[in-house]
Amino acid sequence: MPDLEFKDMQGFIARGYGSLPAAAYLVLTVDEGSEARAWLKGLIPSVTPADLRPETQALHVAFTSHGLRALGLDETSLRSFSREFWEGMADDHRARHVLGDRGASAPGRWRWGGDTHTHALLLLFARDDDELGAFVNEVRAAYGGVRELAWLDTFAFDSPLEHFGFNDGIAQPFMEGLRRTGPPANTVAAGEFVLGYPNEYGRRPLTPLVESDLDPAGVLPSRVRADGSEPKRDGPSFHDLGKNGTYLVFRELSQDVPAFWRFVDEASRLDDGSSNPEERLRLAAKMVGRWPSGAPLTLCPDQDDPDQGSRDDFGYREHDRTGDRCPLGAHIRRTNPRDALEGSPEDALKVANRHRLLRRGRPYGAPISRTMDIEEILRHTGEHEEVGLHFISLGTDIARQFEFVQHTWINNAKFDGLYTDADPLMGHTGDRQGTFTLQGAPVRTRVTGMERFVETRGGGYFFLPGVRALRYLASLPAPPTGPSS
């Protein structure tokens, strides 16, 4: 395992900044290429590299393929990125058939990201809202050639909650080569999350390249062939635009919290038609696969146990093969099946680890109930500020990681031998035809008429470049026939 070049890597790959609870994301469009390149050049010293552990604030920058084109990157280089990135998240076929962004979630109805004008994403982190506000103003004051399309706020819960009321962000793979290490079963090769290093197949992931003629100053590292492997003596000459960068998937996911709890409340009523709070919580936990504290149902089948709240060191085969504890189709069992799927537990785990995501998202919007009091949520009527999750994941292969999880695991009604059970929180289409099966003895129970509680409001596929790649992008010559300069 080669040493990671932390200096050249944006720090967001190495850490999620738990100590910087205030965060905002700014979506930008490039109006004028040469001014935007000058702006980017000025921004680079503020971008936080991975060899620093920032105490007060952090800044990161990422671009869509449209954004790279607007900065002046040539089409041949653009096509050396992955097809998924080149096409973008809002591509019609992808949205409809891979990601399930249909109906209210269709890109045509997004707040941002559904068109070709979404070019760049700035991610800002600070210690509190005041410092964040000042930081945002400082960054805005420096804009040149770019214009802000959206300002995406976040909400910091006191503990790592998401808006349905469950502890979130527990299952996170450890990346090889970082100081923080974890159990081998949950440790994933660096090449899964950062370009330029061996991945879980022992190969370097495909990396975007520019012909060496287009980098005469040698800003980018060379020494790779077109296919990303080590060069032969007479191989073609390319410079590596991807090294120490990665792909960043951003999705603005709104959560209909009252609808979720009302649905669960209805589905868990007593025979006399009255609410059954205990059963209601149990059903919600069954859908998630964890109790509100985060305790996994596979370890705590009967009731919540806050002491087990951050347990991530468990599998499904040994105690829960049949799904009697954590249903086969529960959210956490499909977003990370651990050892549950085909083959031996070891093989299943190995395969599952080829579809892991580094999750870096944060919730947004103030909750209806600060204490996550379900009765209060159910009593709430009328309008309320939109709440949800700014989902962010990092990975070197969008198709094999993010899209695979979304399509093959979350949206797939046939997951693990099921029939009509998509993800109970976010996998259904809204036609109320779907089911949620709670395996059990002597026979299963089943919730019918499943709804969709999460809608996509915006998003994009971004490239989070290494520091040298940022310098290269800032120094691109104006395209000969372009409208700029």
Partner 1 sequence: MSKAPFQDGMTIVTRVIPGREASLLELLHGIGNDVEGSRLVPFPELTTLHFGRWVFFEADVDALGAPTPPTLILSTNFDAPRKDHIAELYDRAREGIDRIYEHCEGYPRPEGRTPARVRAWLEQHDAGYNTLYVGTRGRTVDRIRREARLREAIQGFLDEACRRPGFQELGPAAIRGEIQAFVQGDPDLAWAAEAPPRWRSRWPTRRDLPLALAATALVFVPLAGALLRGWRVGAVLLGGIIGILLLAVGLWALVLRRRERTDPEDPPTNDFDHVRSLVHNEDRFVQNQMSAVNRVKPGWLRLATLRVVLAAIDVLGRWVHTHGSLGSIPSIHFARWVIIDEGRRVVFFSNFDGSWENYLGDFIDKAAVGLTGVWSNTAGFPRSRWLVFDGATDEQRFKAYARRSQVVTPVWYSAYKWLSVQNVNNNSAIRAGLFGEQTPDETAAWLRRL
Q: Using CB under 8 A, list all residues that contact partner 1.
A: 79-80, 83, 86-87, 93, 97-98, 201, 203, 205-206, 226-228, 271, 322, 342-343, 347, 350-351, 354, 399-400, 403-404, 407-408, 412-414, 417, 419, 439-446, 448
Strand partners, 296: 290
- 446 in helix, strand or coil? strand
User: What is the length of the chain?
Assistant: 485
Among 71, 101, 68, 100, which Cα is nearest to 82's? 68
Q: What distance in Å separates the CA atoms of residue 419 and residue 435, rounded to the nearest whole number?
A: 9
150 in Cβ contact with 26 (< 8 Å) = yes
Nearer to partner 1, 204 or 362 (CB): 204
Q: Which two tokens stand for residue 313?
A: 């060191």
Nearer to partner 1, 228 or 309 (CB): 228
Q: How far is the CB of 194 from partner 1 (least distance, A)?
A: 16
**Residue holding tokens 């991945």?**
199
Nearer to partner 1, 18 or 202 (CB): 202
Q: How far is the CB of 343 from partner 1 (least distance, A)?
A: 4
Q: What distance in Å separates the CA atoms of residue 393 and residue 400, rounded to the nearest whole number?
A: 13
- Give the H or E element holding residue 131: helix 129-141
| The one-letter amino acid at 411 | N
Q: What distance in Å separates the CA atoms of residue 182 and residue 92, rounded to the nearest whole number?
A: 39
Nearer to partner 1, 42 or 236 (CB): 236
Q: How far is the CB of 354 from partner 1 (least distance, A)?
A: 7
Q: How far is the CB of 457 from partner 1 (least distance, A)?
A: 23
Nearer to partner 1, 149 or 398 (CB): 398
Nearer to partner 1, 166 or 415 (CB): 415
**Residue holding tokens 């956490």?**
332
Nearer to partner 1, 51 or 75 (CB): 75
Q: What distance in Å separates the CA atoms of residue 75 and residue 317, rounded to the nearest whole number?
A: 48
Q: How far is the CB of 317 from partner 1 (least distance, A)?
A: 14
Q: How far is the CB of 93 from partner 1 (least distance, A)?
A: 6
Q: What distance in Å separates the CA atoms of residue 173 and residue 437, rounded to the nearest whole number?
A: 28
Strand partners, 251: 391, 459
**Residue holding tokens 């290093």?**
197
Q: How far is the CB of 213 from partner 1 (least distance, A)?
A: 19
